[in-house]
Amino acid sequence: MEPARHVPGPLDSLGTIGGHSSPSWETFVAADGADNNVDVVILGGGSGGYAAALRAAELGKSVVLIEKDKVGGTCLHRGCIPTKALLHAGEIADAARESAQFGVNASFEGIDMAG
């Protein structure tokens, strides 16, 4: 089955939030045009939306999760987690530079951001 597609509706004229249009979940239909009823519709696939969708499914509910970007949200892809990884890499690099004072011979050649 093809992914859901946006069908223009009356709520499209409500404007934008943060430069992005914010259509209602009601304007999304399955690509096959079927009339689908679900128990729970969750807007946003960040950590909270993802957890809510998973829990609702565990409880036997039919769930639709709508995410305009990547499931996992800002925290997972651009915010909290990448920042913590970068900070940890910096701490390791700093420890390598100061390792001689602890009797450890190590060389620091830089941080490979791609790796």
Q: How confident is the model over 97-113, as pLDDT tens digits?
A: 888 899 998 888 877 77
Helix (H) or strand (E) holding 41: strand 40-43
8 A C-beta contact, residue 47 and residue 76: yes
Rounded to the nearest angstrom, the gap between the alpha carbon of residue 70 and the centroid of all alpha carbons in its chain is: 4
Global pTM value: 0.50
| Tens-place pLDDT, residues 7-50 | 444 434 433 333 444 444 444 455 566 666 788 889 988 889 98
What is the dihedral angle through the alpha carbons of 13, 6, 27, 62, rounded to the nearest 10 degrees? -150
Rounded to the nearest angstrom, the gap between the alpha carbon of residue 81 and the centroid of all alpha carbons in its chain is: 11
